[in-house]
Structure 1
Amino acid sequence: MSYKIGLDVGSTTIKVVVLDTQDNLVYKSYERHRSRVREMALEKIQSLKELLTGHHLRIAITGSAGLGMAKESGIDFVQEVYATAGAVRQYVPSTDVVIELGGEDAKIIFLKGALEERMNSTCAGGTGAFIDQMASLLNVDLAELDRLSLAHDRIYPIASRCGVFAKTDIQPLINQGAQPENIAASIFQAVVDQTIAGLAQGREIEGNVLFLGGPLSFLKGLQERFIKTLELDGESANFHPLAPYFVALGAALYSKGLSGYRSYDELEQIFTQVLAAPQEVQGMEPLFADEQEYQDFCDRHAATAVEQRDLSAFSGRAFLGVDAGSTTTKTVLLDEDYHILYSDYVNNLGNPITAVKRQLDEIYSQAGPGLTIAGAAVTGYGEDLIRAAFHLDFGVVETMAHFTAAKHFDPAVDFIIDIGGQDMKCFKIKDDTIDDIVLNEACSSGCGSFIETFAKSLGYPITEFATLGLFAKHPVDLGTRCTVFMNSSVKQAQKNGATVEDISAGLAMSVVKNALYKVIRARSADDIGQNIVVQGGTFLNDSVLRSFEKELGRKVVRPAIAGLMGAFGAAIWAMRNAGSQSTVLTAQQLAAFTHQSKATVCGICTNHCNLTVNTFSDGSRFIAGNRCERPVTGKKADVQLPNMVAYKYKKLMSYTGRPGPRGQIGLPMCLNSYENLPFWHTFFTELGFEVVTSGRSTKQMYLKGQNTIPSDTVCYPAKLVHGHIRTLLEKGVKTIFYPCMSYNFDESISQNCYNCPVVAYYPELIKGNVPMDGVQFIYPYISLNDKKIFEQKIIKYLNEYGFALTKKEVQQASEKAYAAYDAHRADICEEGMRALRFAKDHHKKTVVLAGRPYHIDPEINHGIDKLLSSLGFVVVTEDCVANLANAPQTNVLNQWTYHARMYNAARYVSHAPGTELVQLVSFGCGLDAITTDEVRDILRESDKLYTQLKIDEIDNLGAIKIRLRSLLAAMDEREKEHAN
């Protein structure tokens, strides 16, 4: 008998199949290898001894982790896509499209027509590893995640481009009490969206679709989301029973064409030699030279301990602090002398309410009759929910809680870095107030969950894993990379013989480097500060702390309660602001405490916020997910603060068309339309067209066009263009006008007036990627700077499409269009001045919300302007104040109109009392990498704060709210300092 063996070594699993002479499957296995690739390969061959002995054997290796093994063994390697295509042709020849999700790999293979493959390259979002991470976040296994998803009744928008983005969306939902069934289904929907938008990249997924890979074989909820999203039926969606093994099957089929046979003994010897082969060991300097150096290190940091007192024997006033973090809940109870009476640090397991209730129960059970809780404060992601649930007295923004705690240990502190599970907060202190705040917004590779994820994947509890690296001989240099790439680096290090100890130390060093160079972007230790306090649970890891000190070359203060600092600071805050008795639930009230949550959608305004309504046993409610107070109060705020973002957007949305003799012309409400709609709307209306716009941006509109997006790295405003074009097509518009515009209007504030390249030339990309059969898509290259040249060119372009325009009517329409644009800009400036006067007359703080014109779109800015209003800020935009300051000297070539406005706005803010600037940056914007440094430098020249908010399709404002509340707190502290 002749057998063909296919060995598929993936990023997380190893699959083996054996085919007989007639290509019948006689053996299959699917197991996780946990990075024991060589060991398991040999074990699989040895387990097949009885089946394979005495037969002629051919074998081929495939898979993302199989190439190295193939080279070491001399066995033929077949590329995954080729193997998959071969298996599909053999077993399901009617297939048009293959979607395969593996552990860290995801791919789409288009078989209809020319063979084409799209594969993830820089991110494992939307793969099995991503789903594993999300299940861990919900504290369930994959089977339970799948079961939960099938019972959902609502889908939340969750990003899957990266596990970090997804956590940013999911954690607040958990903290707000969202149903786990809905979160589970939303996770699967995120995987589907990532596959369509990130992998298909503009090509239609249609015809017969074959789904392959472990996740798509075992997770029924994921199958359901794919079927519904792609609108497939039972015939066109194929979930083959051998789906997890198709790549291995393809390798086995490929081996048919190989010359020569091997015996079982030969195979066993080959894999034995591969396992025994010496591996290269490379490493960095150890963290500690010996046990004594480590002991000295421990003794130095132990000096910052806080004295503990016996709660059962205590009598008097005490103060409670709760830190409801992203993954953990911390509680501290202090007496009036700052002694700790009780403390606890637990993983909240996705349910912070249960964690806090248990901690309060424990306090009441331990306390004697003389305890009086005089004040209680809460900070962290779950602040609002926990305060409402347990009737705590105060809510404290995280940055102020941590600053308060740090000052207790070092009154001269000038830099604080707090690294938690997935959050990092860094702030510089100047004149005893917070001078600059940096939070990680896009990456958690410098945070505790980064190490915890690896510890779990290697089978270690985090506490044990953290100590393994202390005396590693050769710490692995993993650099400053994201979690996805780090997975590959760790696996490669293991293949090269690195020990778990080496990997533990290397990961600790990587966390520090990511924090310093990717988040803080420090150039030297002097950029950080002289008196540094480190805190957060991650710094309880001595390997991380030692790495931090070695990297900076200086000693820092780590309080012995580093993991409790948020709660400690909240307790101090409660002490300083307490009355005679706290409103926190008593032991009797706690015994009767219940909590229920229900998901709903707010219909009061066009935001349609996904709300979670939490109801407690005393009848009180807490509503989460709202961007304004109307779902809570049922009415608008009594005093409407000026908000130029909302004003500008409402003004643009007021442009409506009227029937005209020349029929309809469609204008997509995207990118350059936010600036030029008044011009084009007036121009075409005057020419006799009925102008039809695509209307408001929505998540649903984005989903309409996501399968035509050819790049997963372009900014969200650009991705939305596809949905706007599709909306115009659905409206039946037969002519769409969307010009390419290299230049903006020249406002004489910069050396040139270029448009961002994406804004300027995106119509070209739309033409090539969005099918528009029977529709005229007009996308001329136009500049509006010279009226005469514009008139000459536009009549030529439009008449080429058969409109028969006369020179006179184009000139008349042009005259009115330029006048309409000027009037629109003048109105914006005038309204901006009214807003500034209002702020001055009513003693209100002002934020200049600076960005691009499209950042006024609520779907793009996610209601950040309304959040600022709810915090008491008057909101103006950069173009309202750009003409109120002279152009600053910049360190780069100032040739982009919208950036020049931001520079001018920053200069204005530099000298405006009670005013700060917040810059919105869309992920994927290359130009803003330059503007952010320039804006920051201009503001810092006058000791102003710089706040940058990175936004994308993620619409949860949890982290952003912390940033803005921190900004407000810093402004308040500065006002107090100046008053004194």
Structure 2
Amino acid sequence: MSLRIGIDIGSTTVKVVVLDEQNQLLFRSYERHYSKARERACETLHTIQDQLTGKDVRLVITGSAGLGVAKAAGIDFVQEVYATAAAVNTYIPGTDAVIELGGEDAKIIFFGGALEERMNGSCAGGTGAFIDQMATLMNVSIDELDRLSLKHEKIYPIASRCGVFAKSDIQPILNQGGRKEDVAASIFQAVVDQTVAGLTQGRELKGKIVFLGGPLHFLYGLRERFVETLHLDGEHAVFPEDGDCFAAMGAALCSSDYPERPFDEALTLLEESVDNVGLVDTMPPLFTSQAEYDAFLARHNANHPPEVDAAAYSGDAWLGIDAGSTTTKMALISPDGGLLYTYYHSNQGNPVAIVLEQLRAIYRLCGTRIRIKGAAVTGYGEDLIKNAFGCDLGLVETVAHYNAAAHFNPDVDFIIDIGGQDMKCFKIRNRAVDSIMLNEACSSGCGSFIETFAKALGYDIADFAKLGLFAPHPVNLGSRCTVFMNSSVKQAQKDGASVEDISAGLSISIVKNAVYKVIRAASADDLGRHIVVQGGTFLNDAVLRAFEQELGRNVTRPTIAGLMGAFGAALAARDLHLERSALLSEQALASFTHTARPVTCNLCTNHCSLTVNSFDGGRRFISGNRCSRPLGQERVEQPDLMHYKYKKLRAMEGAGTGDGSRGRIGIPFGLNMYENLPFWYEFFTRLNFNVVLSPESSRKLYLKGQHTIPSDTVCYPAKLLHGHVEALVEAGVDAIWYPCMSYNNDEGIGDNHFNCPVVAYYPELLAANVPALKETRFLDPYVGLWRHKDFTKRAVRMMLEEFGIPRQETERAVAAAYSAYDAYVQDVRQTGMAYIEYARAHEKNIVVLCGRPYHIDPEINHGINDLITSFGFVVVTEDALSYLEDYAPRKVLNQWTFQSRMYNAARYVCTQPDMQVVQLVSFGCGTDAITTDEMRSILEKGGKLYTQLKIDDINNLGAVKIRIRSLMAAMDARKVRPSAQNGAAS
């Protein structure tokens, strides 16, 4: 029997193995290919050419990127699932499931009967590429990340669906002093959660599980998280010695079914193969000549602050610090805005140490000549840096950036700031920030997007960006997510595009994402006439040129584009007009110390993950808290209708009039039950059932039902229902009541009164995907409460058939239920009005928090209402105001009850000078894709600000805080300039 060779060409690596007649491994290789897969495979085969020349071999290729190579070379190919299955069946018989993680691929293969495979589709969230990104973010190697994770003390909840989400969660933890060990383990836990939630799709992982692929072969911390999460022992968690090359071994095993050929012939076929070159979609060049580029540079380089010789300067100075998500920026300015000192560098996950080092350098520069009279800080790490070093002012970054932009262009009406992973866009009206747009779910329009590709192609970011300036044919890569774009870039390479063309294409892609995904502009006029661009990404001339070309107009880029947050903060410090700064002195810095430790707060049901930062002299700063209790202050209760409604609904349990003689009926407390619970609770207690509500939502409850979730893209409120029904089954209720409801009550304010499809029919999905429901009676009939007579007839029939309850008793219970629902609605409206009167009596502003009924769940809103009231606002909800406006036609089909309420509430707010709207949107909500634009239109037409908050399963409120503080700053600016509201309306 001839030797058998298996080549597994994955998205990032090439694995080559040689097996003998007894299936013993004679040779193995695992190498990254950096998008040159065929060349890498040939190089590896050359290393064993001496041993194999003149011998006949059987060679088969497998892997996600292997099919193209196999076709071009005329070499046999086997699908990777079959290759993996062949290796597992041969070497580890009795396997029940395989979890395999690769560079950009993740898959679970279920054995037993027919093979069943679940694989990631459009996202590389829980893969090796994701782990690479996170290690880069933390400024450690993959091996260091692994070692750190094994020393963790706690796990933070971190999103894994996308590297962008994860960065948004990790960065605040690092900026606020979280331990790298805990973050490293949390990253691996996120990969586990993504694999279990995203790939099992309702099928349970049990029995003997084999773990394959490079990440699971090399990373022991990742192994540990999988074993603990899946509760596996040594017998049921199998990590093969050659788990990183198992698919290649399977390909070699499968080669027995294919003809043999001389090794030299196979190598020649592989070497001489050339991928099919297709047509590349190209665009015009960014610059056609050096002269055109020189004129471009001269125009933009004219926007610079005054030049100051710091060595010769003597006088007053002001310091600005921008503690950003990935970088720390500092600027020391003279009275006219001249730069005495600047700093721009990665914060390496430890902004306190960076600022400490730079402050010492600034004091050495100042000596006795320069006196710092004020210091201000902005950015994600604002609170930590302000408390650590005694800065005089902390200001929201939107205001800092506006200060800086207005310094260079007083008429600025639009600011776009693109950083490493954040994009912020501000509309300016009447010299105040009027509306804010942030990238929510994707960083494909940000600097890290280009940096990722630069590294993958072996360049640093600066050199890679320059390559695209004069590229003759930039590749049209569209405006897509990083994972999709990876495939586009690889395809463009195969089709013959040069690195220069790809670099230019990526710069253009960043701009398209910014304009059409974040800003969602229909034309350049939607942005403004006087546009200032800033952020490190706009220091890339290719991105700046692409932006101007896309808009068809010139913009202003200051030479300090990357320092604008720090520069704006320094200007704000100057405008404080202080005689003396509270900034720590040079002597105080000499004894400065900082330690951070994680704790969980148990003072209320939020159970916040806190970081306690301790400084010299007994000073402390606590971050991660949603209320003031961990700071030793009793929570000040501001009127908050979300909080009121939640407490009122939870208090229903045990307060019914029935005697419980007909048994215990469980009701899952989620989705539309937040709307209909008063009805169902009264109905069943009147029928003498003991109504049992599922527990309060929590991360733990979500994890309880996670393995039964069939779709990773459905909204978090729906995902929570799986844990709620599992908890009710565990509670031993006699039946669970969760009806399907296509319609809501008709309030006469919309074109129809549908529930969204997820809310309407989720009971059927639960019935099909939660095995535990087979252990109890799960009642999920179709009902419609808006037609009183029809529902009464249906209820009579159902109660008689299911429980033998007489007609008259059911009829009385239905009547009581309708009365209870009406009473609840009236109570919400009256309480809302009482809160509004309170706000006006105490001169407080009112936020109308618009969302769906289930957004009052603290696990879903993550305490956003607490955050808003902590800033002194009174909170009411859309259902307390929607009835105050009559029906009005909308530009969109207005057929969803909950959205109709929001439209009406927004219209009412436009008539009230002391109210603003904040809209809550769940990621994955299809109906809100329409709602958000309509809400923005209503509010802006009425001269109001529009603030949207997107929420998912992760509770990082950093971006939320920016928006609320920016809203406050804009409101304050309008008070100073009374004409602002009229100007906005026009």
2:701 and 2:720 in contact (8 A); partners too: yes
Is residue 2:532 matched to residue 1:542? no
Aligned length: 976
Equivalent residue letter for 2:212: L
Q: CA deviation at 1:918?
A: 0.9
Equivalent residue letter for 1:479: G
Is residue 2:650 matched to residue 1:649? no
Match of 1:943 in 2: 943
Match of 1:787 in 2: 788
| CA–CA distance in structure 1, aligned partners of residues 889 and 383 of structure 2 | 43
Secondary structure of 2:665 counterpart: strand
Q: CA deviation at 1:911?
A: 1.2
Secondary structure of 1:72 counterpart: helix
1:311 and 1:368 in contact (8 A); partners too: no
Match of 1:232 in 2: 232
Is residue 2:270 matched to residue 1:271? yes
Q: CA deviation at 1:734?
A: 2.8
Match of 1:623 in 2: 622
1:623 and 1:632 in contact (8 A); partners too: yes
Map 1:666-685 onto structure 2 (within 5 A): 666-685=666-685
Map 1:246-265 onto structure 2 (within 5 A): 246-258=246-258, 260-265=259-264
Match of 2:461 in 1: 462
Is residue 2:134 matched to residue 1:144? no
Secondary structure of 2:598 counterpart: strand
Provide structure 2 residue ranges, at least 5 long, that are not aligned to the other structure.
981-986
Match of 2:984 in 1: none
Q: CA deviation at 1:553?
A: 1.0
| CA–CA distance in structure 1, aligned partners of residues 485 and 615 of structure 2 | 43
Match of 2:208 in 1: 208
Equivalent residue letter for 2:599: T
Match of 1:773 in 2: 774
| CA–CA distance in structure 2, aligned partners of residues 909 and 482 of structure 1 | 36
Map 1:752-831 onto structure 2 (within 5 A): 752-771=752-771, 772-801=773-802, 803-831=803-831
Secondary structure of 2:77 counterpart: coil
| CA–CA distance in structure 2, aligned partners of residues 81 and 800 of structure 1 | 49
| CA–CA distance in structure 2, aligned partners of residues 276 and 113 of structure 1 | 38
Map 1:265-664 onto structure 2 (within 5 A): 265-274=264-273, 283-637=282-636, 640-657=637-654, 660-664=660-664
| CA–CA distance in structure 2, aligned partners of residues 506 and 37 of structure 1 | 22
Secondary structure of 2:916 counterpart: strand
2:799 and 2:810 in contact (8 A); partners too: no
1:446 and 1:511 in contact (8 A); partners too: yes
| CA–CA distance in structure 1, aligned partners of residues 387 and 72 of structure 2 | 61
CA shift digits 1:883-916 (9 cap, x unpaired): 1223332012222111110010110111111211
Q: CA deviation at 1:89?
A: 1.1
CA shift digits 1:431-489 (9 cap, x unpaired): 22222211111111111111112222222222222212112222221110001111121
Equivalent residue letter for 1:47: T
| CA–CA distance in structure 1, aligned partners of residues 550 and 979 of structure 2 | 39
Map 1:929-940 onto structure 2 (within 5 A): 929-940=929-940
1:322 and 1:567 in contact (8 A); partners too: yes
Distance change in 2, residues 1:887/1:276 (3 Å): closer
Equivalent residue letter for 2:469: L
| CA–CA distance in structure 1, aligned partners of residues 775 and 411 of structure 2 | 71
| CA–CA distance in structure 2, aligned partners of residues 893 and 337 of structure 1 | 54
1:100 and 1:212 in contact (8 A); partners too: yes
Secondary structure of 1:585 counterpart: coil
Secondary structure of 1:207 counterpart: coil
Secondary structure of 2:554 counterpart: coil
CA shift digits 1:406-441 (9 cap, x unpaired): 011111111110111111111111222222211111
Equivalent residue letter for 1:628: C
Secondary structure of 2:978 counterpart: helix
CA shift digits 1:799-825 (9 cap, x unpaired): 333x11011111121121111111111
Q: CA deviation at 1:755?
A: 0.7
Match of 2:747 in 1: 747
User: Which region of structure 1 is more displaced relative to structure 2, 230-239 or 368-377?
Assistant: 368-377
| CA–CA distance in structure 2, aligned partners of residues 42 and 821 of structure 1 | 73
Equivalent residue letter for 2:780: Y
1:734 and 1:774 in contact (8 A); partners too: no
| CA–CA distance in structure 1, aligned partners of residues 741 and 664 of structure 2 | 22
CA shift digits 1:312-363 (9 cap, x unpaired): 3322211100000000000001111111111111111111111111111111
| CA–CA distance in structure 2, aligned partners of residues 23 and 525 of structure 1 | 64
2:800 and 2:807 in contact (8 A); partners too: no
Secondary structure of 2:881 counterpart: helix
Secondary structure of 1:449 counterpart: helix
Equivalent residue letter for 1:74: G
| CA–CA distance in structure 2, aligned partners of residues 668 and 832 of structure 1 | 26
Q: CA deviation at 1:500?
A: 2.2
1:378 and 1:387 in contact (8 A); partners too: yes
Match of 2:871 in 1: 871
Q: CA deviation at 1:687?
A: 0.5
Secondary structure of 2:977 counterpart: helix
| CA–CA distance in structure 1, aligned partners of residues 682 and 942 of structure 2 | 42
Secondary structure of 1:373 counterpart: strand
Equivalent residue letter for 1:924: G
User: Which region of structure 1 is more displaced relative to structure 2, 567-576 or 284-293?
Assistant: 284-293
CA shift digits 1:510-555 (9 cap, x unpaired): 1111000110011111111111100011000111101101111111
User: Which region of structure 1 is more displaced relative to structure 2, 471-480 or 643-652?
Assistant: 471-480
Secondary structure of 2:17 counterpart: strand
| CA–CA distance in structure 2, aligned partners of residues 798 and 122 of structure 1 | 46
Q: CA deviation at 1:278?
A: 6.7
**Percent of residue pairs bearing the same amino acid type:** 61
| CA–CA distance in structure 1, aligned partners of residues 979 and 751 of structure 2 | 42
Q: CA deviation at 1:619?
A: 1.5
CA shift digits 1:813-843 (9 cap, x unpaired): 1121111111111110000001111111111
Q: CA deviation at 1:598?
A: 0.6
Secondary structure of 1:305 counterpart: coil
Q: CA deviation at 1:157?
A: 0.4
2:54 and 2:264 in contact (8 A); partners too: no
1:312 and 1:368 in contact (8 A); partners too: no
2:275 and 2:494 in contact (8 A); partners too: no
Q: CA deviation at 1:298?
A: 0.6
Q: CA deviation at 1:737?
A: 0.6
1:888 and 1:903 in contact (8 A); partners too: no
State TM-score, norm by structure 2: 0.98
| CA–CA distance in structure 2, aligned partners of residues 312 and 52 of structure 1 | 69
CA shift digits 1:13-55 (9 cap, x unpaired): 0000111223221111101111121211211222221122121
CA shift digits 1:378-412 (9 cap, x unpaired): 00000001100010000110100001110111111
Match of 1:720 in 2: 720
| CA–CA distance in structure 2, aligned partners of residues 536 and 138 of structure 1 | 21
State TM-score, norm by structure 1: 0.98
1:45 and 1:267 in contact (8 A); partners too: no
Secondary structure of 1:317 counterpart: strand
CA shift digits 1:738-783 (9 cap, x unpaired): 0001111111112221111100100000000111233100001011
Distance change in 2, residues 1:320/1:728 (3 Å): same
Match of 2:965 in 1: 965
Secondary structure of 2:631 counterpart: helix
1:315 and 1:368 in contact (8 A); partners too: no
Equivalent residue letter for 1:977: R
| CA–CA distance in structure 1, aligned partners of residues 770 and 113 of structure 2 | 19
2:276 and 2:495 in contact (8 A); partners too: no
Equivalent residue letter for 2:154: R
Equivalent residue letter for 2:974: R
